[in-house]
Amino acid sequence: MDLLIQDKVHDESRQGEALVLEPVIGKNNGRKLYIESYGCAMNFSDSEIVASILSEQGFETTSDFNNADVVFINTCSIRENAEVRVRNRLKEFAGAKLKNPGMVVGVLGCMAERLKAKFLEEEKLVDVVVGPDAYRDLPNLIEQVDGGQRAVNVLLSREETYADISPVRLNSNGINAFVSIMRGCDNMCSFCVVPFTRGRERSRDAYSVVVECTDLFNRGYREVTLLGQNVDSYKWTKPLPALSKGEGSNEQDNLEVLSHGEDLGEAVVNFASLLEMVAHVSPELRVRFSTSHPKDITDEVLYTIAKYDNICNYIHLPVQSGNSRVLDIMNRTYDREWYMNRIDAIRRIIPECAISTDVITGFCTETEEEHNDTVSMMDYVKYDFAYMFKYSERPGTLAAKRYADDIPEEIKQKRLAQIVAKQQEYSFYRMQARIGKVEKVLIEGFSKKSNNDYCGRSDQNAMVIFPVSEHYKPGQYVNVLVERTTSATLIGGIIPQTP
């Protein structure tokens, strides 16, 4: 087991999901696109950009790859098992291609970037390999394949943010949406392949983010999750242009927020200001974000979260290890004390804030004592959720070059099992602490198990289940009194709003 608790940023239940959208009227080229995605929310968000680019070219989407003319798989390289999964899936596409030799099979995303043209040698059925910054080139690349060639574009960019492409929302409930605010990563954590597969960090135009969130709000969406590998280092600089107006956006307030960072006629928007700008779109639009980096999360961001009711009290703050020596060789650039100081600041400034984390067990040279520091960090923070992984060596990373992957598999597994058990206790503890409290819940739809119940998330990102009421529908907020819990879900009933 690699993953304990799902949330929407890496949702295990969505892995391999195929995306389907309404055809664009008047633009049908008679060809069908099948696209499925693996990995983190950023990849799912990228697949929406890909679908958007190809639907402009007249492609229709299908949920059955056997009927498709173009089959794309948007891949993840973060751990070896993610890549194994994709290779197995490609074997399944081979049968379909045998029946339909004209079918174009393409590999997109991080694995494409990591393996580049080598992919074409290794996987004979693959016709096209496209890295995360080259999606605008897809129409040309498909044309090349149609002309009998195989095609590769894995150029990484220092500028591409796809800011002008309004992503189609795929398989959406019409209530929550992901909005990418930056791409790439400059951090070079020694275990991580992301800086190699997604390139240099760049921040998207702040206005385009606000315009996209405003548009989503106007179309009925009530929650946006701002996405980046390290949202706290978001930084965008531009001379002040005029903001486009939209129902629900408050242009004057947004300009005032921007002017805080004004410098010689330039507006510098950092993550705190961006959060504030998005919070101003409407008090009815919930704002979430992921991922925060412990070295960069500032008190300014924490005060901004505390100031706005619609910025959710939930922070994903990956610790990776609780031991300072291990953090040093992971190149995380903070130590145990720094991390604890950030936790203390969150508790002081946003007392009700839920905190989740990522942990890696069995990193190179980790001793039992150092592992115990991770366990004691879990005791210190009592995380609401955690994603826990065994270290998986990734070719080309700093760790693969510098350190031996020397912790035996059974020890990695034993340490993982220990922290998974510990986290289950703390998740249950955090859930239990909500009993008797009233949670403001955004209704997302019927619960998975029954159409007699609604489900939705609390401000702190806990899943809440409660009986359907005819007075409320998905997309509305309700107050729910929590009566009982499991280790992952709060269960209760709606309290009627006082007029």
Binding residues for ligand SF4 (CB under 6 A)? 185, 187-189, 192, 194-195, 229-230, 293
Cα 117 to chain centroid, rounded? 27
Give me the 34-73 binding string for ligand SAM, x by CB under 6 A, dash otherwise.
------x---------------------------------
* C-beta of 208 vs 392, nearer to ligand SAM: 392
74 binds ligand SAM, rule: CB under 6 A: no
Q: Could you give the strand order of the β-sheet that contains 235-239, starting from the edge strand earlier in sequence?
A: 235-239, 266-270, 262-263
* C-beta of 170 vs 182, nearer to ligand SF4: 182
Q: Which of ligand SF4, ligand SAM, none does residue 175 bind to, with CB < 5 to 8 Å depending on kind?
A: none
Contact with ligand SAM (CB under 6 A): which of 291, 423, 447, 461? 291
Strands 60-61 and 70-75: unpaired
192 binds ligand SAM, rule: CB under 6 A: yes
204 binds ligand SAM, rule: CB under 6 A: no
210 to 239, contacts with ligand SAM by CB under 6 A? 229-230
Nearest of 184, 89, 189, 82 to residue 132 by alpha carbon: 184
Which part of the chain contacts ligand SAM (CB under 6 A), choosing from 200-208, 321-329, 385-393, 406-414? 385-393
Which part of the chain contacts ligand SAM (CB under 6 A), choosing from 202-210, 254-262, 321-329, 387-395? 387-395
Contact with ligand SAM (CB under 6 A): which of 213, 346, 354, 360? 360
Cβ at position 332, least distance to ligand SAM in Å: 8
Cite the beta strand spans of 38-94 per DSSP E: 60-61, 70-75
Cβ at position 389, least distance to ligand SAM in Å: 4
The structure tokens 């929302």 sit at 169
Burial bucket for residue 210 (CB in 10 Å: 0-12, 13-18, 19+): buried
CA–CA gap between residue 179 and residue 224 (Å, rounded)? 7
Strands 32-37 and 70-75: parallel
DSSP symbol at 22: P
**For the chain, counts of helices (H) and of strands (E):** 15, 23
Using only C-alpha atoms, what is the Rg of the chain? Answer: 23
Cβ at position 211, least distance to ligand SF4 in Å: 27
CA–CA gap between residue 260 and residue 304 (Å, rounded)? 13
Contact with ligand SAM (CB under 6 A): which of 389, 454, 466, 472? 389
Q: Which of ligand SF4, ligand SAM, none does residue 392 bind to, with CB < 5 to 8 Å depending on kind?
A: ligand SAM
Q: Which of ligand SAM, ligand SF4, none does residue 195 bind to, with CB < 5 to 8 Å depending on kind?
A: ligand SF4
Q: Which of ligand SAM, ligand SF4, none does residue 360 bind to, with CB < 5 to 8 Å depending on kind?
A: ligand SAM
Burial bucket for residue 101 (CB in 10 Å: 0-12, 13-18, 19+): exposed
| CA separation, residue 60 to residues 44, 71, 92, 128, 363 (Å) | 18, 12, 22, 19, 45
CA–CA gap between residue 132 and residue 197 (Å, rounded)? 8
323 binds ligand SAM, rule: CB under 6 A: no
The structure tokens 């020694």 sit at 190
Binding site for ligand SAM (CB under 6 A): 40, 78-79, 191-192, 194, 229-230, 291, 293, 318, 320, 358, 360, 389, 391-392, 394
